[in-house]
A and B are shown apart, each in its own frame.
Chain A
Amino acid sequence: MATATTAVMSLQVPSSSVRSSASSFLSPSNAPAVFFVPRLFPKNIGSFKISSGRCRGGIRCLLAPEKDSEYCTKVSRNANIAKLQAGYLFPEIGRRKVAHMQKYPDAQVISLGIGDTTEPIPEVITSAMATKAHSLSTIEGYSGYGAEQGDKKLRPAIASTYYDGLGIDEQDIFVSDGAKCDISRLQLLFGSNATIAVQDPSYPAYVDSGVIIGQTGGFQTDVEKYGGIEYMRCSPGNGFFPDLSRTSRTDIIYFCSPNNPTGSSASRNQLTQLVKFARENGSIIVYDSAYAMYISDDSPRTIFEIPGAKEVAIEVSSFSKYAGFTGVRLGWTVIPKELLYSNGFPVAKDFNRIVCTGFNGASNISQAGALACLSAEGLKAMSEVVGFYKENTQIIVNTFTSLGFKVYGGKNAPYVWVHFPGQNSWDVFAEILEKTHVVTTPGSGFGPGGEGFVRVSAFGHRENILEASRRFKQMYK
Chain B
Amino acid sequence: MHASAVWRTKVPRNPNLEKLQTTYLFPQIEMKKKEHLLKNPNANLIELGVGNTTEPIPKCITSSMAEHCHRLATYEGYKGYGDEQGNKDLREAIADVMYKNTSIDGTQVFVSDDAQCDISRLQLLFGSVVTMAVQDPCFPAYVDSGVTIGQTGDYMASTGQYQNITYMECTSDNDFFPRLSNMPRTDVIFFCSPNNPTGHAASRFQLEKLVDFATSNGSIIVYDTAYSEFITDDSPKSIYEIPGSKQVAIEISSFSKFAGFTGVRLGWTVVPTELLYSNGSPVINDYDRVVCTSFNGPSSIAQVGGLACLTPQGMKEIRKVINVYQTNTKLLIHTLTSIGFQTYGGTNSPFVWVHFPGRKSWDVFAEILEKTNVITIPGLGFGPAGEEFIRFSSFARPNSMQQACRRLKDHFTKN
Chain A interfacial positions (CB closer than 8 Å to B)? 1-2, 4, 7, 11, 35, 37, 40-42, 45, 55, 57, 59, 61-65, 70-81, 84, 87-88, 90-91, 114, 116-123, 125-127, 129-131, 133-134, 136-139, 141-146, 148, 177-178, 180-181, 183-184, 188-194, 205, 208-209, 212-214, 251-252, 278-279, 281-284, 311-312, 324, 326-329, 338-345, 350, 353-354, 356-366, 369, 459
Q: Roughly how many angstroms separate A364 CA and B6 CA in the complex, as a whole number?
A: 37
**Known contacts A180-B294, A194-B11, A212-B293: A72-B81 contact under CB 8 Å:** no
Contacts of A183 in B (CB 8 A): 294
- Interface residue? B292 (CB, 8 A): yes
Contact with A along B253-291 (1 / 0, CB 8 A): 000000010111100000001111111111011101110
Partner of B294, one of A7, A139, A212: A212
Contact of A40 among B85, B127, B299 (CB under 8 A): B85
Q: Which residue of B lies closest to A188 (CB)?
A: B148
Asked whether A121 lies within 8 Å of B72 as measured between CB atoms, the reply is yes
Contact status of A282 and B220, CB under 8 A, knowing A77-B286, A87-B292: no
B116 on interface, CB distance cutoff 8 Å: yes
The reply to whether A328 and B299 form a contact with Cβ atoms under 8 Å apart is yes
Residue of A nearest to B76 (CB): A120
Partner of B80 from the list A11, A130, A194, A324 (CB cut-off 8 Å) is A324
Contacts of A45 in B (CB 8 A): 273
A79 touching B265 in the complex, CB below 8 Å, given contacts A134-B62, A327-B300: no
B404 CB, nearest partner CB in chain A, Å? 17
With A70-B276, A136-B62, A340-B9 as contacts: A327 and B114 at CB distance below 8 Å: no
Contacts of A362 in B (CB 8 A): 113, 265, 299
21 A–B contacts, CB within 8 A, in A order: A35-B285, A40-B85, A55-B280, A57-B278, A59-B279, A78-B125, A81-B289, A120-B78, A125-B73, A136-B260, A143-B263, A145-B52, A189-B17, A190-B11, A213-B124, A282-B10, A329-B113, A338-B7, A343-B8, A360-B262, A365-B301
Structural contact, A361 and B263, CB atoms closer than 8 A: yes
Q: What residues of chain B have their CB less than 8 Å away from a CB belonging to chain A? A: 6-17, 20, 23-24, 26-27, 50, 52-59, 61-63, 65-67, 69-70, 72-75, 77-82, 84-85, 105, 107-108, 113-114, 116-117, 119-120, 124-130, 141, 144-145, 148-150, 185, 187-188, 214-215, 217-220, 247-248, 260, 262-265, 273-282, 284-286, 288-290, 292-302, 305, 395, 397
Judging by beta carbons under 8 Å apart, are A360 and B7 in contact?
no
Bound Cα distance A55, B263 (Å) = 43
Chain B residues whose CB sits within 8 angstroms of the CB of A81 once the complex forms: 125, 127, 286, 289-290
Residues of A within 8 A of B220 (CB): 73, 75
A357 engages B144 (CB within 8 Å) = yes
Closest residue of chain A to B3 (Cβ to Cβ) is A344
**Is B279 a contact partner of A2 (Cβ separation < 8 A)?**
yes
Q: Which residues of A contact B77 (CB under 8 A)?
A: 120
Determine the residue in chain A with the shortest Cβ distance to B11.
A251
Query: How far is it, in angstroms, between the C-alpha of A329 and the C-alpha of B7 when the chains are bound?
Result: 34
Contact B263–A62 (Cβ < 8 Å): no
Considering the complex, give the chain A residue whose CB is closest to the CB of B123: A358
Supposing A2-B279, A42-B107 touch, asked if A252 and B62 sit within 8 A by C-beta, the answer is no
Residues of A close to B275: CB separation below 8 A: 73
How far is B82's CA from A49's CA once the two chains are assembled, in angstroms?
30
In angstroms, Cα B127 to Cα A78, docked, is 6
* Inter-chain contact A76/B119, CB cutoff 8 Å: no
User: Roughly how many angstroms separate A363 CA and B185 CA in the complex, as a whole number?
Assistant: 38
Q: A80-B127, A120-B78, A177-B298 are in contact. List 11 more A-B contacts (CB 8 A).
A: A57-B218, A65-B273, A74-B217, A136-B263, A177-B265, A184-B295, A251-B11, A327-B72, A327-B297, A360-B113, A365-B302
Partner of A341, one of B12, B73, B125, B126: B12
A79 vs chain B, min Cβ distance (A): 7
Assembled-state Cα–Cα distance A459/B217 (Å) = 51
- What CA separation (Å) do A361 and B261 show in the bound complex? 12
Does A73 contact B16, Cβ atoms closer than 8 Å?
Answer: no
Instruction: Give which listed residue, A88, A127, A136, A358, contacts B145 with CB less than 8 A.
Output: A358
With both chains docked as a complex, state the minimum distance between the C-beta of A112 and any C-beta of chain B, in angstroms.
13
What is the distance, in angstroms, from B285's C-beta to the closest C-beta of chain A? 5
Within the assembled complex, what's the spacing in Å between the Cα atoms of A422 and B6?
50
Q: Which residues of B contact A64 (CB under 8 A)?
A: 276, 280
A354 to B214, CA, bound (A): 30
Known: A180-B294, A181-B295, A341-B9. A357 touches B148 (CB 8 A): yes
Contact A359 to B277, CB < 8 A, known contacts A75-B187, A76-B129: no
Q: How far is the CB of B96 from chain A (nearest CB, A)?
A: 14
Please determine whether B73 and A123 come into contact, CB atoms closer than 8 angstroms.
yes
The B contact surface, by secondary structure, is: loop
**Chain B residues near A205 (CB, 8 Å)?**
293-294
Expressed in whole angstroms, the Cα–Cα distance for A73 and B218 within the complex equals 4
Q: Of A78, A118, A123, A311, which one neighbours B126 at CB under 8 angstroms?
A: A78
| A contacts with B: majority SS | loop
Q: Is A136's CB under 8 angstroms from B286's CB?
A: no
- The answer to whether B128 touches A133, judged by C-beta atoms less than 8 angstroms apart, is no
Question: How far does the Cβ of B20 sit from chain A's closest Cβ, in whole Å?
Answer: 6
Roughly how many angstroms separate A37 CA and B54 CA in the complex, as a whole number?
41
A71 in complex: contacting residue of B116, B247, B264, CB < 8 Å: B247
Once the chains bind, are A192 and B276 in contact (CB under 8 Å)?
no
Cross-chain contact of A190 among B14, B61, B215, B300 (Cβ < 8 A): B14
Q: Contact at B62–A327, with CB atoms within 8 Å?
A: no
Chain A residues with CB under 8 A of B10? 251, 281-283, 342
Cβ A358 vs Cβ B56 within 8 A: no
CA distance A183 to B16 in the complex (A): 18
| CA gap between A141 and B148 in the complex, in Å | 36
Tell me whether A75 and B130 are in contact (CB under 8 A): yes
- Please measure, in the bound complex, the distance between the C-alpha atom of A345 and the C-alpha atom of B288, giving whole angstroms: 35
Q: Chain B's nearest CB lies how many Å from the CB of A64?
A: 5
A73-B84 CB under 8 A given contacts A118-B78, A284-B9, A358-B117: no
- A80→B214 CA distance, assembly (Å): 24
Residue in contact with A114 in the complex, picked from B75, B81, B124, B145, CB distance below 8 Å: B81
CB distance from A88 to the nearest CB of B (A): 4
Tell me which of A73, A125, A127, A214 contacts B278 (CB under 8 A).
Answer: A73
Q: What is the chain A residue whose CB lies nearest that of B186?
A: A75
A340 touches B7 (CB 8 A): yes
Q: How far is the CB of B37 from chain A (nearest CB, A)?
A: 16
Write the chain A residue with the least CB distance to B188.
A75
Q: Which residues of B contact A87 (CB under 8 A)?
A: 289, 292
Contact of B6 among A133, A344, A354 (CB under 8 A): A344
Residue of A nearest to B53 (CB): A144
- Give min CB distance, A121 to chain B, whole Å: 5
Residue pair B107, A356 in contact (C-beta under 8 Å): no
Which of A180, A312, A326, A360 has the largest number of chain B CB atoms within 10 A? A360
**How far does the alpha carbon of A329 sit from the alpha carbon of B105 in the complex, in Å?**
26
Closest to B124 in A: A212
Smallest CB–CB gap between B321 and chain A, Å?
A: 11
User: In the complex, A114 Cα to B247 Cα: how many Å?
Assistant: 35
Q: Closest CB-CB distance, B353 to chain A, in whole Å?
A: 21
Closest partner residue, chain A, to B295 (CB atom):
A181
List the 3 shortest-distance A-B pairs measured between CB atoms, nearest first.
A282-B10, A74-B218, A61-B280
B62 CB to nearest chain A CB (Å): 4
Contacting pair A137 B57 (CB below 8 A): yes
Contact B264 A365 (CB under 8 A): yes
Closest A residue by C-beta to B285: A35
Are B290 and A340 in contact (CB-based, < 8 A)? no
B7→A311 contact, CB < 8 A: yes
